Every structure is written in C-alpha cells, then in structure tokens.
Amino acid sequence: GGCGACVVLISKYDPATDEVTEFSASSCLTLVGSLNHCSVTTSEGIGNTRDGYHPVQQRLAGFHASQCGFCTPGMCMSIFSSLVKADKPGTTTAGDHAPPPGFSKLTCAEAEHAVSGNLCRCTGYRPILDACKSFAADVDLEDLGLNSFWKKGTDRADVGKLPEYSSGSVCTFPEFLKSEIKGQMNDVPAAIAGEDGWYHPRSIQELHSLFDSNWFDENSVKIVASNTGAGVYKDQDLYDKYIDIKGIAELSVIDRNSKGLEIGAAVSISKAIEVFSDGTPVFRKIASHLSKVASPFVRNTATVGGNVIMAQRLQFPSDIATVLLAAGSTVTIQTASKMLCLTLDEFLEQPPCDAKTILLSIFVPDWGSDNVIFETSRVAPRPFGNAVSYVNSAFLARTSGDGASGELIIEDICLAFGAYGVDHTTRARKVEEFLKGQSVSAPVILEAVRLLKDTIMPSEGTTHPEYRVSLAVSFLFSFLSSLGNNQIEPAKAIAPNGSCANGSMNGQVASEDLQIRSRQELVFNDEYKPVGKPITKSGAELQASGEAVYVDDIPAPKDCIYGAFIYSTHPHAHIKGVNFRPSLASEKVIGVITAKDIPAGGKNVGAGINMLGTEALFGDPVSEFAGQNIGIV
C-alpha cells in the first residue's frame, strides 16, 4: 500500500453544495464497498492510445522519467491530483495571480511533494521531478534537465515546446453520477447492507445495534474507515464482513474553541494537517510532523483515530500517538457499557481494546505560545514516503525566566518517545521529574541524558538498539540545548512554525521549504549520431497511461506449469547430480530438469551475450560459481 504504483484519483460529490472533492488514494488499499457514489479516475482515464495522451503522461515520457514503467501510472496520477487540487476554482497562488499560459498554480516545492510518497527503484527522481516542475508557475525552464522537447544547451527552453496543459481538461466526476446522487438525496440509507457483507451505519447507535447482532464476531468482522491498516497488517482476507464507520457524523467532528481542538476519530490525516496548520505554533508544529507520516495518497484516506487505535491495539510504532501525547491530548472512547475520557498516555497503557470499543474523538489543548516550547523529531529510512521511524519524539515544556539570575527555569515538561522497540509511546517520567524546577545548564543536561539512557530500553529483538538509544539521546540533548540558548526570554524560543527559534532540530528542514536543486552539463559527441541522442523511449507513454502489458498481466494459459531454478551452493565444484526427494515437495511437482535432460542435438545455452559469447543454461559438468543454475524444478 505504500509504493504508490496504483494511485488513482477518487472524487466525491456533495449535492447540498454542488461541489466535487478530489483526492489521491492507493487503489490496492481501497475497498470497493467504500466507493459507493464515488468517481474513480485512473491513469488510463486521463489519457490513452485511443483518445490521446494527457500532458502529464507526455511530459513524463519526454523528460525520460520512465524506465521499467511499473511505478509510472502512480506517478502520473499523483502529479495529476496535485494539479487538480492546485487549479481548483478558488485556489490562489502565494501572489494571488493567475499562472502564465501553459502552467499550473502549482509551485516547484508543491510539485516535488506531489510524488513524495511514490517509490521508484530504477529511473531516479530527477527526471521525474523535472516532469513535475514543468507544470509549476515559478519554474525556470532552463533549470530542467535533459528532455526530448528542446536540445539542452543550444535550444531556448520554451513552454510552447511542451505538450500543452490547460486545467479542467479532464472531467473527474460525470454528470450522470451527479444526477443519480441528487435523485437519492431523500432516500434513507439502511445500516444493514444485505448479502454483500458491507455495513454502513450512520450513527453510533446504529453501530452498536450491529455489534449486538447475532452474526457479529470480531474474528470475522472488520471495522474499517479507510482500510489503510491493511498495508501494514496483511489480514484482510480473514474477514467476510465489513462495517464502514466513515459515514458516522459523530466521528467526523472538527470543533475548535478557546480550550483547544477536538478532532473526530474518522477525520483523515490530511484534513487534520489542514486544520492544525491554521492554528497556534504548537498546532502548526503538529501539522508539520504529521506531513512526514506515510505518504500523501495514504494520508488522504487514513484516519487519525485509526492510527492511534493501531498504536493501542496492535503496538503500531505511531508518530501521531507520540506527537499528540506530548501535546497533552485526551481521548473519548465508547465501550459496550459507558463513555470514558482518558489522557492519551492512559489510553495507550490500557490492555488492547476489543472490537466493540470505539475511539470517538481526540482533544488537543490550545497551549498558546507564551512560555511554551514544543518540538518534535523523527529519524526514518526516508524523511518522506511511507517509512516507519527508527525513533520519534515530542517534547513540550512550560518555562519561566528568573529575572535575578537570567536563567531559564523549566516549570513543567513532557518527554514522549516512540517507535524505539516498545509496545507503545512512553514518557520519560524520571527525566521529567528531574528537570522540573531546574534551570537549564550543562550539568543538568548531562544528568538528564544519563537518566534517559537508563529509561530508553528497546525490547529484545529490536534492530539497531544502540542506534535508537543514541537517537533518543540526541533529540533530548538538542532540545535542552536550545532552551539553554534562549535564556530569560522563553517566548522567543518558539518560532512561528512551532520549532525552536535557534535552528531546526537534528538537521531537519521544514517540509514546505524543501527543494531539490541540481545542474546538468552534458557533452554530446556527433561521431556516431544518432546514437547517443536523447529521444523519448518507445513505449514510455504507454507505461504512463497504464496500458503497458507486463508478464504478470498476462493470463496463465490452460495447463500452465511453473518452474524455479535450483542453484549451486558451491563455486568451481563438480556436479555429481541433483538430489531431489519427492517427499520434501508437494504432490504437484512434475519433475526436475537438468543438463542431462537436454535432448540429443540440443544446446545447453541460456542466453547469448554478443561479443562475450554465450552463457550456459545449466552448469555442467562444473559449477562455475555459487548461484549458477544446475536444474529446474
């Protein structure tokens, strides 16, 4: 679910406002039952061999941004969905100006983030990013890399040479579907779906009535809001019934007041980021951290509550739980008999919830900005793009200044750490107790670090335990050092985005500022032209549209059999024979083929390598290297 190769655009229509909302999503995680009254646009839907290719597909091909092509349709749809979002009526650019002809309102930074969650293993990201940036209103076309639209270094880069782009050229929600939805506005949806096994309650009361049904069994019924958890826990085939809670209004509440912000459990992570971004410095810092969780097309459907529930019930190494815990969040849960309000750390420490316990909402208090410093950190294999953290942390401190000494006093502090090899996010309470009432100094920081090393203890079997502990220590050291550098004026220690004002933690850069910059200088040799001339790869547009046929797309013919090579385990070894005992294999094994089975007149040739000669299909009579084929089973 995290590679992005199958990204599609999902559109929903609200007949009350006559508005269409579009968002990208992983089709492999999206259950068909959740798409009722939705329009799904695929890469082939925006352009194909029959109707012509879309400029996104043409530019991906022209900038040499497709090699094997397996991930290209997903790349295409991630870019397309970002263009749809940027060019939606009512959306304005930073300067509130319309983009030049041929461009989108998208900025270069936004273009980079458009594919931040799409993984590519062979092409390399620069040509992909060049194709993305070619749509951006603030792009310098001369900075774009090698392409087939103009000759780099000699021809003038001109948007007129690019495949023409105009917003709104693709209908994402057909009129007939709008009419159908309008015609059903007055119909009352039933909670019981029938024989298809899909249930969609519209209230908590209806949900509990389903729980009380005689057919309800938590081992065969799955409660879903977006099903993105199936990307982590591969258990969806174990269920034959689903209860979709996305339509329950109580779970989608967003309520901001003077005390803080309440977010329903079914609110998507993307929506939560949007809401937090328009808030206090602490809220904006939460939004910044959440934007590094998963990938855009996962965040668009994944819910805040689902993430927290996985952390509580399945020990998922959640970033969201860590950040919300440090921010002093509370949760409201509904059990079979009562409603409870718990702090998030109390909730995480409880035994795993049963299937009938529902997380209703999460409340994050409004800390304001006076004398409050909030910081979050994470280290993962990739800063963006669906990578679980090695360690994550979130710290919140209330401070005051000692007017006489000029020192900064920590009045209260919360230190939360997660994903380091424990069941759930934990607080470093011994360190917290030590720091309360202390002024920030070098001896205090060193003692806090010593206490933390005794607190952060990854469980047995955790990979790289020493590295994870060192990361946690570095997070705390950086945070306390930043407090020590902001004596007497704690309010100035927090920047507008909620970070420590003296610099970003652990070398992290705000995601909205990240831009990849590079330069391409090429020397062309005309001696063997046209060999070496950059031309669009044959079939690149076919790959971008999703029409390219791969081996796994071809249906298996009747009576098809499958084979696997047997490899030598020794180099430069004489092959006496292949010992194969049928008792060790299934009854469906037909036989074993070796070099001895090649018929008279046949050749033991696997592949021709031009000037280097040929490569044997089977090692015979000597295995030339470990891993050489010596048979097929």
Model confidence over 114-133: pLDDT tens digits? 998 899 988 888 999 999 99
Rounded to an integer, the average pLDDT of 404-428 is 92
Highest mean pLDDT among 83-97, 174-188, 245-259, 612-626: 245-259
Inside any domain, residue 262: no
Inside any domain, residue 394: yes
Q: What is the pLDDT of residue 531?
A: 81
Quick one: how far is CA 239 from the chain centroid?
A: 25
Burial code (b: 16+ CB inside 10 Å, e: under 16) for 225-244 equals: bbbbbbbeeeeeeebebbbb
In sequence order, the 6+-apart residues with CB closer than 8 A to the CB of 158 are 141, 150
Burial code (b: 16+ CB inside 10 Å, e: under 16) for 364-379 equals: bebbebebbbbbbbbb
Per-residue pLDDT for 603 more than 70? yes
Q: Which residue, chain included where needed, has tokens 């709008």? A: 178
Q: What is the pLDDT of residue 495?
A: 46
Q: What is the pLDDT of residue 507?
A: 37
Per-residue pLDDT for 19 more than 70? yes
Same domain, 20 and 157: yes
- For residue 420, give both structure tokens: 């380091």
Listed in order, strand segments (DSSP E) in 277-431 are 330-334, 339-343, 358-365, 372-379, 391-401, 408-418, 426-427
Inside any domain, residue 417: yes
Q: Is there a contact between 424 and 353 (Cβ–Cβ < 8 Å)?
A: no
Strands 622-623 and 573-574: antiparallel
Report the SS3 class of residue 178: helix
- Give whole-number Cα distances, 245 to 69, 218, 316, in Å: 36, 15, 21
Asked, as a colleague might, if the bond just before 127 is cis with ω within 30 of 0, I would say no
CA distance 599 to 578: 18
Q: What is the pLDDT of residue 533?
A: 77
Query: Model confidence at 526, in pLDDT bands (50, 70, 90)?
Result: confident
Rounded to an integer, the average pLDDT of 60-89 is 94
The values of phi and psi at residue 114, to 5°, are -60, -35
CA distance 79 to 60: 10
Q: What is the pLDDT of residue 511?
A: 46
Inside any domain, residue 489: yes
| Last-in-domain residue among 199, 222, 249 | 249
Inside any domain, residue 398: yes
Same domain, 48 and 121: yes
- For residue 595, give both structure tokens: 């070099």
| Last-in-domain residue among 474, 489, 506 | 506
Same domain, 212 and 94: no
CA distance 48 to 521: 34
Q: Is there a contact between 499 and 505 (Cβ–Cβ < 8 Å)?
A: yes
Same domain, 154 and 62: yes
| Last-in-domain residue among 206, 228, 249 | 249
Q: At what angle do helices 269-277 and 304-313 cross, to 10 degrees?
A: 120
Radius of gyration of the chain (CA): 29
The values of phi and psi at residue 18, to 5°, are 60, 40
Q: Reading across the β-sheet that carries 426-427, which strands appear in turn? A: 372-379, 391-401, 408-418, 426-427
Same domain, 457 and 591: no
Rounded to an integer, the average pLDDT of 484-504 is 48
Q: Is there a contact between 480 and 473 (Cβ–Cβ < 8 Å)?
A: no
Asked, as a colleague might, if the bond just before 530 is cis with ω within 30 of 0, I would say yes
Q: What is the pLDDT of residue 502?
A: 40
The values of phi and psi at residue 467, to 5°, are -65, -45
Highest mean pLDDT among 44-53, 138-147, 163-172, 612-621: 44-53
Per-residue pLDDT for 508 more than 50? no
Same domain, 149 and 202: no
CA distance 553 to 69: 14
Same domain, 25 and 143: yes
CA distance 274 to 293: 14
Q: What is the pLDDT of residue 434?
A: 97
Q: What is the pLDDT of residue 583?
A: 62
Inside any domain, residue 628: yes
Q: What share of the chain is helix, strand, coil (3-state, %, to 5)?
A: 30, 20, 50
Same domain, 612 and 478: no
Residue type, 25: A
- For residue 232, give both structure tokens: 């982590």
Query: Model confidence at 169, in pLDDT bands (50, 70, 90)?
Result: confident
CA distance 401 to 487: 7
Inside any domain, residue 173: no
Same domain, 202 and 146: no
Rounded to an integer, the average pLDDT of 433-461 is 94
Rounded to an integer, the average pLDDT of 387-391 is 93
Helices within 204-318 (DSSP H only): 204-211, 269-277, 281-290, 296-299, 304-313
DSSP 48-87: BTTTB--HHHHHHHHTT--SS-SSHHHHHHHHHHHHHHHT
Per-residue pLDDT for 369 more than 90? no
pTM above 0.75, yes or no: yes
Same domain, 416 and 486: yes
CA distance 300 to 309: 18
CA distance 417 to 397: 15
Query: Model confidence at 504, in pLDDT bands (50, 70, 90)?
Result: very low
Inside any domain, residue 341: no
Per-residue pLDDT for 462 more than 90? yes
**How many domains in the chain?**
4
Helices within 499-584 (DSSP H only): 540-545
Q: What rounded mean pLDDT belongs to the chain?
A: 88
Same domain, 64 and 210: no
Q: Is there a contact between 243 and 224 (Cβ–Cβ < 8 Å)?
A: yes
Per-residue pLDDT for 187 more than 60? yes
Domain that holds residue 581: 565-632
CATH code where residue 18 lies: 1.10.150.120
Rounded to an integer, the average pLDDT of 289-305 is 96
Q: How many CB atoms lie within 10 A of CB 106?
A: 26
CA distance 300 to 77: 14
Same domain, 128 and 87: yes
Query: Model confidence at 485, in pLDDT bands (50, 70, 90)?
Result: confident
Q: How many CB atoms lie within 10 A of CB 136?
A: 21
